[in-house]
Amino acid sequence: MLARRADIVGLGALAVSASCLVALGTGWFQGTLNALVVLLLLIVVVGVLVLAAFGGPEARRLLAPYGLMKPGLLWMALFFLAPVWSLVRISLSTKESRFSVRYEFNWAWENYSRAFSDFGGQFQRAFLYSFIATILTIVIGYPIAYVIAFRGGRFKNFLLGLVVIPFFTSYLIRTIAWSTILADQGPLVSVLNKLGLVNVFEWLHIMDNGKLLNTPAAVIGGLTYNFLPFMLLPIYVSLEKIDQNLVNAAKDLYSTPTVAFRKVVLPLSIPGVFAGTLLTFIPAAGDFVNAQFLGNPNTTMIGNSIQDQFLRQNNYPVASAMSTVLMVSITALVLLYTKFFGTEKLV
């Protein structure tokens, strides 16, 4: 009987073992109960293996898909579901006292209102800066990717290497290096001073009171620089795949180069832009390194606040609430974005 309904057994085993891992990961049970959960997990896993070994070919065929899903799903249960569950739970808890490490779950929605009221500015800046940085990476990255893909010739790999090589250095070191380049008595500011361009830059709000470093422009610039390859490479891949004959065909049909680009190349490269946007915007919105090293106290982003609340203020509930809000709002933005561009275009 068991062997005939192996698919049901497989599904059940999958659900039970995933729940066991979530329970273990979040620490729902203590002591003996915890040991029982581990035991149950082992029994289920071993049971399925035994069934597969002795159930005959038909049972194995029915079990296979669930067995193949197991590593991925169990991984997600332990390292995604359990942490998210804990995060959300702590975000609705209250610390018993200031120096307590115990959190009492009591639907403390005030953590969320504090996240918004105290850190609303940081949320806004995080989304605004990462949005501008994403647009800038498209503006800078697209032409470079275009040139490499269509005009690179035998230098293609070399040029791609030039894009990637700086990123062999640590993220942190590159960002700190920018703070030296942009310094008040650094090379860039003194060149601008000599050229008399400081007033122009001030007017453009790129410089503030003669400073390049520690301005919003520096933070956005740092984000743009750091995430450029994540935009450039997917765009390059989608451009690279375009058949040159399509462009030639458009030209044969009396398209100008501009029209050929707009009607053929651009639409075919949109999936690359879409993927690049996700790879750029999502991490940029949660970034705290650029704001820390290149910003000032009025340009902090939500990542800075979360880090500070977790590691310095020891205020896990509010920090968790902020993290949850950040995750939910990014998910919502991505869903909206997907509705317009569609994952089916992600070739």
* Interface contacts to another protein, rule CB under 8 A: 98-101, 118, 122, 172, 180, 183-186, 208-211, 213-214, 292-293, 296-298, 300, 304-305, 307-308, 311-314
Q: How far is the CB of 219 from another protein (least distance, A)?
A: 12
d(CA 59, CA 5): 8
DSSP state string for 277-339: HHHHHHHHHH--HHHHHH--TTS--HHHHHHHHHHTS--HHHHHHHHHHHHHHHHHHHHHHHH
Q: Tell me the H-state helices in 27-55.
A: 31-54
For the chain, the farthest-separated pair of C-alpha atoms sits apart, in whole angstroms, at 86
At its nearest, how many Å lie between another protein and the CB of residue 277? 27
Nearer to another protein, 71 or 297 (CB): 297
Q: How many helices (H) and strands (E) does the chain have?
A: 16, 2
Q: Which is nearer to another protein, 7 or 308 (CB)?
A: 308
> Minimum CB separation from another protein for residue 103, in Å?
13
The DSSP bridge partners found for residue 95 are 103
* Nearer of residues 100 and 343 to another protein, judged by Cβ: 100
CB of 273 to another protein, least distance (A): 31
Report which of 163, 128, 133, 131 is spatially closest to residue 148, judged by C-alpha positions. 163
CB of 325 to another protein, least distance (A): 17
CA–CA separation, 167 and 170 (whole Å) = 7
CB of 290 to another protein, least distance (A): 13
Query: The tokens of 173 are what?
Result: 């070191």
Q: Bridge-partner residues for 280, per DSSP?
A: none
By beta-carbon proximity to another protein, the closer residue of 311 and 335 is 311
Q: Which is nearer to another protein, 25 or 121 (CB)?
A: 121
Q: How far is the CB of 311 from another protein (least distance, A)?
A: 7
> Which of 75, 171 has the CB closer to another protein?
171
Copy the structure tokens of residue 20.
């066991």
Closer CB to another protein, residue 82 or residue 95? 95
Amino acid identity, position 43: I
- Please tell me the distance from the alpha carbon of residue 287 to that of residue 339, in angstroms, as a whole number: 25
Q: Report which secondary-structure segment, H or E, holds 58.
A: helix 56-76
Whether 81 and 73 have beta carbons less than 8 Å apart is answered as no
Q: Which is nearer to another protein, 27 or 143 (CB)?
A: 27
CB of 225 to another protein, least distance (A): 19
